[in-house]
Amino acid sequence: MDKQCKICRRAGEKLFLKGERCFSPKCAFVRKAYPPGKRDSERKHRSTVTEYGTQLREKQKVRNVYGLSEKQFSNYVRKVTSRKGDPSTMLYEEMEMRLDNAVYRLGFAKSRREGRQMVSHGHILVGNKRLTVPSYTLKIGDVIKIRPGSMTNIPFMGITEKAGKGPIPAWLSYDQKKAEAIIMGKPILDKGASEFKLTSVIEYYSR
């Protein structure tokens, strides 16, 4: 079974790591909504989760959703906890303002993993400059678009027409005619509606 599918089953919820497949009947989490390695007799029994276990699970969830290694993620946490302000809010900003995440949010890519590949292979321009670093931190006013030379490749045909039609965050604005997006502001963390409990993540690393 695919590694991404096992991550979702271990987390106990869909993390939508594989794009469209996660919405189809082929989704492994739909067919096997229990942790990998569990026997039939163990599936109905849930072990008591400690506070530490909850924090660890939340940390792993956020790290896997954004596709980061433990070292990369812990560096982000260390960075935001050294500043003044709410670390959970700043951590959310850091994750969302990554170039590979913006490419996914715009609809250029079906998943963050695919967005990371598009950036790494040089298909994305930021301010007419070709960037190959998925972790590049975007700034307000940055313009993102697919490299014109890449538009002739079959995988990219029709992408710009589909982009921006789905729900995109308020901090991103997509111009269908120009086939480009602009960073309008910073992502705002709504702790009440967020799928992440970033406070638990900060507490995990504060131990």
Q: What is the CATH number of the domain that holds 161?
A: 3.10.290.10
Tell whether 128 is covered by a domain.
yes
Element (H, E) at 112: helix 112-120
At 153, give phi and psi (nearest 5°). -80, 140
Banded pLDDT at 68 (limits 50, 70, 90): very high
Mean pLDDT over 122-135 rounds to 96
- Is pLDDT at 127 greater than 90 in this prediction? yes
Instruction: Confirm whether 161 is domain-assigned.
Output: yes
Q: Does residue 194 lie within any of the structural domains?
A: no
Tokens of 177: 């005619």
pLDDT confidence of residue 168? 92
195, pLDDT greater than 70: yes
Q: Domain range for residue 133?
A: 98-183
Residues 130, 132, 134, 140, Cα dihedral to 10°: -20
At 166-179, the pLDDT tens digits run: 789 999 999 999 99
What's the pLDDT at 48? 72
- Check residue 21 and give its pLDDT: 58
Q: What CATH code is carried by the domain that includes residue 20?
A: 1.10.1050.10
Residues 38 and 104 in one domain: no
Whether residue 65 lies inside any domain: the answer is: no
Distance CA(166)–CA(189), nearest Å, equals: 20
Count the domains in the chain: 2
130: β partners = 125
pLDDT band at 155 (very low <50, low <70, confident <90, very high): confident
Domain membership flag for residue 73: no
User: Is 170 inside a domain boundary?
Assistant: yes
192 contact partners, CB below 8 Å, separation of at least 6: none
Flag whether pLDDT at 30 surpasses 80.
Answer: no
Residue 115 lies in a domain: yes
Cα gap 109→21, rounded to integer Å: 13
Same domain, 36 and 113: no
